[in-house]
Amino acid sequence: MSSATNSQAPRSPFSVPLSSSTELLTDQMKGDFNLETQRRLRSKHVSAPDDWTGSDTTRVMQDQLCHLKRRCAKLERKLQEKESMIQSLQEQQQLQFPLLVHETMRNLNLMDSNESVRQRPANDGPLSHSVMSVMAHSRQDIDVCIHEYEQQIAKLYEENRNEKLKNEMLSECLRDQKHAKSKFMKACRQAKQELQAVKDSGLSQMLVDIEARCSALEKKKDNMTDELLVEISLRKKYESEKVVVANHLEELRCQSTKWEGKCAYACAHARDQICEQQLMIENLTTDLKLADRNTARPSDHFHDCDNAEIEIGRLKHIVNTEQVASHETKQRFSRFTEENDMQGQGQRAFDDESGSSEEHVAPCAAQNTFDRVLIQVWFVCHPLTITCADSDTNLFYCVGWEQIQHLQCKLRSLRDQLKQYEETNFIDVNALDEENWFQEEFAQGSARSCVEYATHLSKSVVKSARYLLELQQIVEDVGARLMGESCALQ
């Protein structure tokens, strides 16, 4: 029993070894702290890039200083928390140690009392079985309490040692942070000195000048932007006006084309009327000359002379009327020709401005060819002044008949040429020469009387009128086709 009691005696708390987990934790904390310290030192000694200015370096240093201040404050708060925890543990230890001593002393007193009871003389009498069991149980309870107290004391000493180690580590970290802070303050002072040197070197004034120039350029840019917006609005306005003017110009061109067509048709109609009137005047002049010759015959033709005088008067009246109508038609034709020339000049000026003169080469060539054909028609329809020195009547009649045949040949040749032009768009100008117009033999005989001559003349006039109508229709068709081609090319 005594041996069991001695084996369960309280052990010293300093004899408890440190656990392997605590050592590993301590080594890990030291390694992390050393790595953090080295990283901070390397970050302080890293040189700034070449393109950094003094203000950039100062700003970076200020950011690092603020970061270090925040970290120092955080570490100080942690250190204060650990110190307060250590102090509280020390207070608990101070409170628990007297209680533990008191309990230990009480247990020792109980043990002494038990020993005294055990060493009583034998004459006192043997103890009962119940008393012995109670004493054994009390000793076991005392041993258990002592063992628990020993475990608590060992745990408290271990916690105290760990907290002391942590406190030493935090103190070392704080010393390193203070050393780093002193180095950082030294770097800040150097940066301030460099910044002051930069200010003294005139770079600040240069920076102010650059900022002023930048502000002036910004204002100029704003003004140019406003002007550009105004120009864009004006451009849109001018483009809309250009579209309106182009539409109006297209309408005017269409109207000009219509007026040109009308003028061309009026000119062709006037030419036809002039040709018909000239032909009629020629016929009436021939009839008048014939009547004059009839009046100059012997007296055996007095009755015919009276009728001839009446006919001469009527023919003179008709000739005067036709001359007046021909004069009016010539005036109208000249007026239409002037209007057409003015329209042509305006169209040519417009074509020169628009740069589309090459597109009108083909219509102008066709128009020139058509004008040549009309000139030939004009000369055909003019009166043929053929003088005859012989006073013989039969010779005069023969010359008049040749004139009618000559006119018929001209009309037929022109009709064939215009048909060829309408089909092939080509005219053989050599075929219009007067040398090639007499391609068929004329009748060599002459009229024997006025009635026979009038019959032949009326037939020739009817035939010539038919040729003229066909020629007029062909000319109108060709003119319409040329006008359509000109409008299509425009």
User: What's the pLDDT tens digit per position in 310-331?
Assistant: 655 665 666 567 667 666 766 7
Work out the pLDDT band at 16, boundaries 50, 70, 90: very low
Least confident of 2-11, 36-45, 95-104, 160-169: 2-11
Tokens of 47: 């040189």
Q: For 50-69, what is the mean pLDDT?
A: 69
- Is the Cβ–Cβ distance between 57 and 191 less than 8 Å? yes
Nearest to 488 by CA among 319, 359, 370, 371: 359
pLDDT for 234: 93
Question: Residue with structure tokens 């038609």?
Answer: 329
Q: Which of 20-29, 236-245, 365-374 has the lowest mean pLDDT?
A: 365-374
CA–CA distance, 291 with 308 (Å, rounded to integer): 6
Give the separation between CA 206 and CA 360, rounded to whole angstroms: 69
Return the top range by mean pLDDT from 46-60, 376-390, 460-474. 460-474
Calpha distance 267→472 (Å, rounded): 12
**Cα 361 to Cα 367: distance, rounded to the nearest angstrom:** 10
Percent of the chain with pLDDT over 90: 6
Q: What is the pLDDT of residue 383?
A: 39
Q: How confident is the model at residue 85 (pLDDT cuts 50, 70, 90)?
A: confident
**Mean pLDDT of the region 111-131:** 57
CA distances from residue 361 to 138, 191, 367, 370, 490 in whole angstroms, order as listed? 143, 86, 10, 14, 11
Cα separation, 55 vs 48, whole angstroms: 12
Which of the residue ranges 3-17, 72-86, 337-351 would you say has the lowest mean pLDDT? 3-17
CA distance 104 to 149: 9
The pLDDT value recorded for residue 165 is 85
Per residue in 369-427, pLDDT tens? 445 444 444 444 443 333 333 333 333 333 345 555 666 676 666 667 666 666 666 55
Contact between 40 and 187 (Cβ < 8 Å): no
Quote the pLDDT of residue 25.
60
From the list 5, 12, 13, 6, the residue with the least C-alpha distance to 141 is 5
The alpha carbon dihedral of 206, 210, 211, 213 has a sign of positive
Cα distance from N-terminal residue to C-terminal residue, the chain: 141
**pLDDT for position 252:** 87
Q: Rounded CA gap, 278 and 323, in Å?
A: 9
List all residues 6 or more positions away from 259 whose beta carbon is below 8 Å from its beta carbon: 343
Return the structure tokens found at 387: 């003088």
Q: Is the pLDDT of residue 445 over 50?
A: no
Say if residue 305's pLDDT is above 70.
no
Contact 437, 410 (CB under 8 A): yes
Residues 6+ apart with CB under 8 A from 401: 442, 443, 446, 447, 453, 456, 457, 460
Q: Tell me which of 320 and 261 has the higher pLDDT.
A: 261
Whether residue 211 has pLDDT greater than 70: yes
Does the pTM surpass 0.85? The reply is no
Flag the least confident range among 127-141, 270-284, 377-391: 377-391
Higher pLDDT, 80 or 16: 80
Question: Locate tokens 């009709």: which residue?
Answer: 415
CA distances from 66 to 193, 196, 203 (A): 20, 21, 27
What does the pLDDT look like over 181-202, one tens digit per residue? 888 888 888 888 887 887 777 7
Query: According to the model, what pLDDT value does residue 481 have?
Result: 72
Q: Which residue has the tokens 């215009």?
A: 418
Segments in 355-392 forming alpha helices (H): 361-381
Residues 265, 10: Cα–Cα separation, whole Å: 146
The predicted model gives 69-75 an average pLDDT of 78
Dihedral class, residue 193 (left if φ above 0, else alpha if ψ from -120 to 50, else beta): alpha
Separation CA 430–CA 474 (nearest Å)? 20
**Domain ranges (residues) in the chain:** 2-115+132-201, 238-489
- The rounded mean pLDDT for the chain is 66
CA 253 to chain centroid: 33
Question: Is the model's pLDDT at 257 over the cut of 60?
Answer: yes
Of the two residues 75 and 229, the one the predictor is more confident about is 229
pLDDT at 232 over 90: yes
Higher pLDDT, 173 or 391: 173
Q: Given a cut of 50, is residue 9 above it in pLDDT?
A: no
Dihedral of CA atoms 138, 143, 147, 153 in degrees, nearest 10, equals 80
Mark residue 382 as left, alpha or beta (left: phi above 0; alpha: psi -120 to 50; beta: remaining).
beta
